[in-house]
């Protein structure tokens, strides 16, 4: 390896996992943080091999699709319709994300979901029966892309009907309830209030495509989609 190159980027590492032992030797030879940026498909087998070969030498960072903070808040509708994968996204990417300890599965990138459903325009989306579910998945993914690594995300539902679209636990294990509604005047169900009471949620947010934030209950506020960071900063 050239001495005058300070760092290397290795893409598609899953195509040559035999590189891991070599990388270990190179890291041990010269201990310097950030010399290698390794990109690849996060298959369980690959992660296991990397963990075994590079134990104590590697930090994992999950790349989400583009977020509203990256594309700009003036194009939320475009990002929702198109999705956040780069232009060259492929169908074999990991497209489903199961929230921790949750049976609820959603398509990770809204653009891929819309392609599978044959939705080509924003007008198509507005008239589709999957509109609400698409919006929910889009917002959940955006929030998951924003929360710190020491936060955890869950879907909460009980057999009695108590339900929260996205339950966040911050670094101090304090619960934050997030409900997602595609409505100009969002209303939440009785089950949401029951769940908030069950979990002693200190704060709750109802994310919607409007412009104003206002209280709708005890420590529960509507939240415009463009202000998602308030979910974190408002705790």
Residue 164 lies in domain: 74-233
How far is Cα 29 from Cα 185, in angstroms, rounded to an integer? 61
List, for residues 130-165, the tens digit of each pLDDT value: 999 999 999 999 998 899 989 988 888 887 788 899
% residues pLDDT > 70 (the chain): 83
% residues pLDDT > 90 (the chain): 37
- Give a yes or no: residue 99 inside a domain: yes
pLDDT at 93: 27
Residues 112 and 173 in one domain: yes
- Give a yes or no: residue 58 inside a domain: no
Residues 48 and 80 in one domain: no
Place of tokens 């070599």: 22
193 vs 86, higher pLDDT: 193
* 230: phi then psi, degrees, rounded to nearest 5: -65, -25
List, for residues 33-45, the tens digit of each pLDDT value: 778 888 876 666 6
Residues 22 and 103 in one domain: no
- Give a yes or no: residue 67 inside a domain: no
Residues 128 and 226 in one domain: yes
Residues 90 and 19 in one domain: no
pLDDT at 71: 77
pLDDT at 34: 74
pLDDT at 5: 67
- Mean pLDDT across 40-55: 69
* pLDDT confidence band for 102 (50 / 70 / 90): very low
pLDDT at 208: 97
Predicted confidence (pLDDT) at residue 210 exceeds the cutoff of 90:
yes
Phi-psi region of 200 (alpha: psi -120 to 50; beta: other; left: phi over 0): left
pLDDT at 160: 79
Q: Could you give the C-alpha distances from 233 to 76, 146, 157, 165, 176, in angstroms and in order?
A: 21, 11, 25, 19, 11
Domains in the chain, number: 2
Q: Could you give the C-alpha distances from 163 to 77, 107, 167, in angstroms and in order?
A: 27, 20, 9
Which pTM value belongs to this model? 0.69
- 1: Cβ contacts below 8 Å, ≥ 6 apart: 8, 26
Q: Could you give the C-alpha distances from 180 to 77, 94, 123, 135, in angstroms and in order?
A: 16, 24, 21, 8
Torsion of CA 69, 73, 78, 82, to 10 degrees: 10
Predicted confidence (pLDDT) at residue 225 exceeds the cutoff of 90:
yes
- Give a yes or no: residue 12 inside a domain: yes
- 125: Cβ contacts below 8 Å, ≥ 6 apart: 80, 81, 114, 119, 131, 134
Which of 54-58, 105-109, 149-153 has the highest average model confidence (pLDDT)?
A: 149-153
Tokens of 234: 């408002």
- Give a yes or no: residue 36 inside a domain: yes
């Amino acid at each position: 390896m050239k001495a005058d190159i300070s760092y290397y980027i290795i893409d598609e590492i899953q195509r040559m996992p035999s590189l891991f032992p070599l990388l270990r030797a190179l890291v041990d030879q010269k201990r310097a943080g950030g010399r290698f940026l390794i990109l690849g498909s996060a298959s369980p087998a690959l992660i296991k091999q990397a963990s075994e070969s590079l134990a104590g030498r590697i930090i994992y960072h999950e790349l989400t699709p583009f977020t509203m903070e990256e594309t700009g808040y003036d194009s939320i509708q475009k990002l929702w319709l198109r999705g956040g994968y780069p232009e060259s996204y492929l169908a074999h990417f990991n497209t489903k994300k199961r929230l921790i300890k949750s049976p609820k599965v959603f398509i990770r990138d809204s653009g891929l979901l819309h392609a599978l459903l044959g939705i080509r325009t924003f007008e198509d989306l507005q008239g589709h029966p999957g509109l609400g579910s698409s919006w929910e998945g889009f917002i959940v993914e955006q929030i998951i892309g924003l929360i710190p690594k020491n936060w955890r995300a869950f879907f909460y539902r009980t057999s009695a009907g108590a339900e929260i679209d996205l339950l966040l636990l911050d670094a101090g294990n304090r619960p934050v309830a997030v409900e997602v509604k595609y409505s100009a005047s969002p209303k939440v169900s009785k089950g949401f209030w029951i769940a908030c009471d069950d979990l002693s949620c200190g704060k709750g947010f109802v994310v919607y495509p409007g412009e104003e934030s206002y209280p709708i209950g005890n420590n529960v506020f509507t939240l415009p989609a463009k202000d998602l960071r308030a979910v974190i900063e408002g705790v």
